[in-house]
Amino acid sequence: MTQAALQLESVSSGYKASIVVRDLSMKILPGEAVALLGKNGMGKTTLLKTIMGYLPKKAGSVHVRGKDITKLAPHRVAAMGISYAAQEQALFTELSIRDNLRLGLETDALFGERFAAIEPVFPVFKDRLKQYAGTLSGGEQKMLLVARALMMRPSLVLLDEITEGLQPSVIDRIGVALLRERELNCTTMLIIEQNVPFALKVADRYVVLKQGEIVDEGSAKSAGATSAIFDHLRV
């Protein structure tokens, strides 16, 4: 049996007294991409924050490639090759675009090669590396967040609504980039999306979350996936 890239066992989590994620178990194999779907307030973002260690687990355990990360602090989780593109813009607005991208890398020497790989996806950054991140528009900041997550060449990447506020052509390019990343580096992905077609295009498998529990899952490529998902999102 292959070792899971990410394995959640009976994880419960939430804020203060309220439980948002309930007794959730999930297993993602290396190289697999899973779309995490569901209406608002169903616990999707809470789950990612819990995996990353920003929220303490109330119960259950999280393993990454066989290692227990249940109690690790966020920076230690990140050091295991897990990157997280948060929904709230988590950029250093007073630093340049280059510095924001550079901060995800171990050494500066890697910058040239890694940037060259993502540059075709985000041509807007090419001539603007010295500009402050804070002066970028909302959508451009979102792109920078995704670019940083990808440049880290993570083994597991958690993406929280990265297409929000982006123009259609950029969404297309990101979709292509994610697929290529999977192919070249065998990256495991957990993707939260409201843009269902985008999520299904990138992912192998989808999971629908309702009230913090998994209510449905299936192959992203199956014929009935879209309509099954929309049924869940409606009610």
Partner 1 sequence: MTLGLLGVALIIIGPWIFDSYVLNILIKAFFFSVTAVTVDVLWGYTGYLTFGQSAFFGIGAYAAGLVFTHNGFSPGTVALALALAVAASVAVAALVGWLSFYRGASPFFATVISLVLPIVMTQLLLSGGEWTGSSSGLTGYDTFDFSLSTWYWIAGAALIAVGLFAWTVVRSDAGRVLASIRDNESRCSYLGINVPMVKILLLAATAAIAGLAGFGYGSFSGVVAPELSGFVLGTELIIWVALGGRGTLWGPLIGSILINVATAYLSSRMPFAWQLILGITFVLVIVVLPRGLVPLLLKPFGLDAQRDDIPTLVERPAAAATATTGTPALVMNGVTKSYGSFKVLQNIVLQADAGELVGLIGPNGAGKTTLMRCMSDGADRSAGSVLLCGHDIGRLPAEACVRFGLGRKFQNANIFESLTVAECLRMASTMLERPSLLRRARTLALPPYALDVLRATQLDGKLGSVALDLSHGEQQALELAMVLALEPRIVLLDEPTAGLTKTERTQIGQVLSSLAHRYKLCCLLVEHDLDFVEDIATRIVVLHQGTIVMQGTFQEVVHSDLVKTIYAGSAHAAREVA
User: Quick one: which of 30, 31, 74, 139 contacts partner 1 (CB under 8 A)?
Assistant: 139
User: Quick one: which of 12, 61, 89, 211 contacts partner 1 (CB under 8 A)?
Assistant: 89
Kindly identify the residues of this chain, within the stretch 12-51, that bind partner 1 according to CB under 8 A.
15, 18, 39-42, 45
Q: Which tokens belong to 160?
A: 């929280």
Whether 48 and 4 have beta carbons less than 8 Å apart is answered as no
C-beta of 48: minimal distance to partner 1 in Å?
12
Nearer to partner 1, 4 or 177 (CB): 177
In one-letter notation, the amino acid at residue 24 is L
User: Given CA atoms 95, 151, 67, 29 in this order, what sign does their dihedral have?
Assistant: positive
| Mutual angle of helices 138-151 and 111-118, in 10-degree steps | 120
Whether 24 and 50 have beta carbons less than 8 Å apart is answered as no
Q: Which tokens belong to 137?
A: 């528009």
Please state, in angstroms and as integers, the Cα–Cα distance from residue 178 to each residue in 51, 165, 175, 183, 185, following that order.
21, 18, 5, 9, 10
How many Å is the Cα radius of gyration of the chain?
A: 17
- Measure the CA–CA gap between 74 and 150, rounded to whole angstroms: 18
User: Quick one: which of 5, 52, 140, 209 contacts partner 1 (CB under 8 A)?
Assistant: 140
Nearer to partner 1, 80 or 233 (CB): 233
Residue 63 CB coordination number (10 Å): 17
User: Quick one: which of 31, 81, 165, 218 contacts partner 1 (CB under 8 A)?
Assistant: 165
**Stretch binding partner 1 (CB under 8 A), from 2-10, 75-83, 163-171, 208-216:** 163-171
Nearer to partner 1, 12 or 87 (CB): 87
Q: Is 166 in the site for partner 1 (CB under 8 A)?
A: yes
- Measure the CA–CA gap between 183 and 5, rounded to whole angstroms: 16
Kindly identify the residues of this chain, within the stretch 185-214, that bind partner 1 according to CB under 8 A.
194, 196
Nearer to partner 1, 141 or 187 (CB): 141
Q: Using the 8-state DSSP alphabet, how is residue 131 labeled?
A: S
Site string for partner 1, 95-124 (x = CB under 8 A): -----------------------------x
Binding site for partner 1 (CB under 8 A): 15, 18, 39-42, 45, 87-89, 124, 135-140, 142-143, 161, 164-173, 194, 196, 230, 233-234
